[in-house]
Structure 1
Amino acid sequence: LVDRYGIAWHEKTLGQLFCDGSAKQIIDLLVTEMKQANVELRLQTVVESIEATADGYTVALSGERVRCTSLVVACGGKSIPKMGATGFGYDVARQFGLALTDIRPALVPLTFDDNTLAPLKPLSGISVDAVISHGKTKFAEAMLFTHRGLSGPSILQISSYWREGDTISVAMLPGVKILDALRAARARNGRQALQTALSELLPKRLAQLIAENSGIHSHLADVSDKQLLGVEKAINEWQVKPAGSEGYRTAEVTLGGVDTDGLDQKTMEAKSVKGLYFIGEVVDVTGWLGGYNFQWAWSSGWVAGQAV
């Protein structure tokens, strides 16, 4: 469908798909498809109430009552409220007795407490290719230091698995044998400082901070392998405990939602309520970055559309 509309796209790591240009092209595609299907689009319309009837539903829309035999809830989650996102879909699910799983922000930047953040503030804006781990889950993508904590694709990905109180592990030079690299730097020029050697591997401000935190102030010639191993651990086994996340304000998706056990997996119809369907982000299905959540929204919408 995207190719048919002449929208250029590219594939990144982990199978992620992105538009070459603006994502507004996708909106234009969807609106065009709606027009071709004679869909009536109403904006600035409030759903005041939903009532089940003998042959379907009655929906009160800004003073007007609309009757239908099938009702598809496709309202998304709570993420990015400034765009109008609310928990409306969850309220509808509760109204009709459907179970919900725990709901929380996902694909969201992580934040630090003041003590953790203070020494890291000079790094705001610096990005490195990193591997972020939480338990057995890990992501290898860019990581960005921010004025509130950490962001970037790898952090957004791991945020779907992280919970308050958990520690994440960060490798800022994954695949690099740092001890060997520092030994080689020591052999080439033992009079150089640790910060100088690290600057060949990491952004200068990050190298400076790691060197300062290591407590090593002598020339490399006077630094033992044990001390260099400590530096390697600080770079590739950084254990840090986020205090929280930036919340729904910046979260790209909402984790949790309508329990999939209560939905027919082939039609997305509620098993206990005839003619009521839930699709997309309002359902407890969350994908990775890079088109997976769009794919779920469109695929679940398609099967519901075939059923109604």
Structure 2
Amino acid sequence: EVAADRVVLATGGKSIPKMGATGYALDVARGFGLALVEPRAGLVPFTLAPDLLERLSPLAGVSAPARVRAGGAAFDESLLFTHRGLSGPAVLQASSYWREGEAVAVDLAPGVDLLAHLKTERGRAGRQSPAAFLSERLPARLARTLAEGAAAPPRLGDCNDAVLSRLAASVNAWTFRPAGTEGYRTAEVMLGGVDTRELDSRTFETRKVPGLHIIGEAVDVTGWLGGYNFQWAWASGWAAGQAV
């Protein structure tokens, strides 16, 4: 046993257990009767249903700029196809806003009205293949997969408006429902944790247990990619340290 006037709980969250992460902080908080916000994996890759994964797994390693929307938030960064599903900064960011069962929308040509461009190109260069047209904007393997998925004829000139609409939608408005995420195994952060209402916002001392401070990832505060979560850990630790 160790007796102390004050204790700072700085044991992090559950993300990336192979580095030693556990739910210890949550267990301690529960033991003191503190309210928790349901923890879940954040900044984490999506996994895909078997049928969709079978179609997209040949694209593993392909990356492309994209706008990914989930839970009312949208992020314009790169998207990466993997052997398990989708990753990349845009996907990781969106995952923190996604809830199980919800759809995710992907635009692989943000700001581009692809249907209008396809119709123009059909009249100007009808002998060009749909895949070749798309490869001017997307990686070649991805362009071929999208053209095949839209059941597009070999030449743009042979594509009617319905085919062009399908092709444009597969780029500008691809919607899918993730099977889930890769979980804490690869998550960069844990969402949820000790409810912030349990803490003094200046010292991070718990209101119910004087002398107990809780900081960092154990608290229900989560930032975007880019060092924000590191900064939160350091800043909350500094604030608690000043109070101690």
TM-score (norm 1): 0.77
1:300 partner letter: S
Counterpart code for 2:158: D
AA aligned opposite 2:69 = S
Matched residue SS, 1:102: strand
Which of 182, 186, 194 lines up with 1:246 in the alignment? 182
The range that moved more, 74-83 or 191-200, is: 191-200
Question: In 2, distance between residues paired with 1:192 and 1:101?
Answer: 54
2:23 pairs with 1:118: no
Query: Which one of the candidate residues 70, 73, 93 is aligned to 1:157?
Result: 93
Within 5 A, what are the aligned runs for 1:109-148? Answer: 109-148=45-84
Cα deviation for residue 190 of structure 1 reads 1.2
Structure 1: any 5+ residue segments left out of the alignment? 1-59, 61-65
Deviation string, structure 1 residues 40-91 (Cα, Å, up to 9, x no partner): xxxxxxxxxxxxxxxxxxxx3xxxxx33211000010001111110011011
In 2: Cα distance, 1:115 partner to 1:205 partner: 19
Cα distance in 2 between the residues matched to 1:129 and 1:241: 20
Q: Does 1:231 align with 2:179?
A: no
Find 1:289's aligned residue among 217, 220, 225. Answer: 225
In structure 2, what is the Cα distance between the partners aligned to 1:141 and 1:282?
28
Instruction: State how far apart, in whole Å, the 2-side matches of 1:168 and 1:119 are.
Output: 18
CA contact (8 A) 2:71 2:97 kept: no
Moved more, 97-106 or 183-192: 183-192
Deviations 1:174-215 (A, max 9, x none): 111212322343233211221121111211111111111111
TM-score, normalised with respect to structure 2: 0.96
Indicate which of 200, 203, 206 corresponds to 1:270: 206
CA drift at 1:224:
2.5
State whether residues 130 and 147 of structure 2, in contact with CA within 8 Å, keep that contact through their aligned partners in structure 1.
yes
Q: Is 1:195 aligned to residue 131 of structure 2?
A: yes
2:72–2:97 CA contact under 8 A, matched in 1: no
1:44-63 paired onto structure 2 within 5 Å: 60=1
Confirm or deny: 8 A CA contact 2:152 2:167 kept in the other structure. Answer: no
Q: Which amino acid aligns with 1:286?
A: T
Q: How many matched pairs? A: 244
> Could you tell me which amino acid in structure 1 is paired with residue 95 of structure 2?
S
Distance apart, 1:299 and its partner CA = 1.3
CA distance in 1 between counterparts of 2:33 and 2:116 reads 61
Query: Partners in 2 of 1:274 and 1:201 — Cα distance?
Result: 59
Amino acid at match of 1:287: G
Aligned partners of 2:47 and 2:181 also within 8 Å: yes
Residues 1:106 and 2:42 are matched in the alignment: yes
> Structure 1 residue 93: deviation in Å?
0.7
Aligned to 1:103, the other structure's residue is in SS state strand
Letter in 2 for 1:71: V
**Structure 2: where are the runs of 5+ without partners?**
none
Is the radius of gyration larger for structure 1 or structure 2? 1
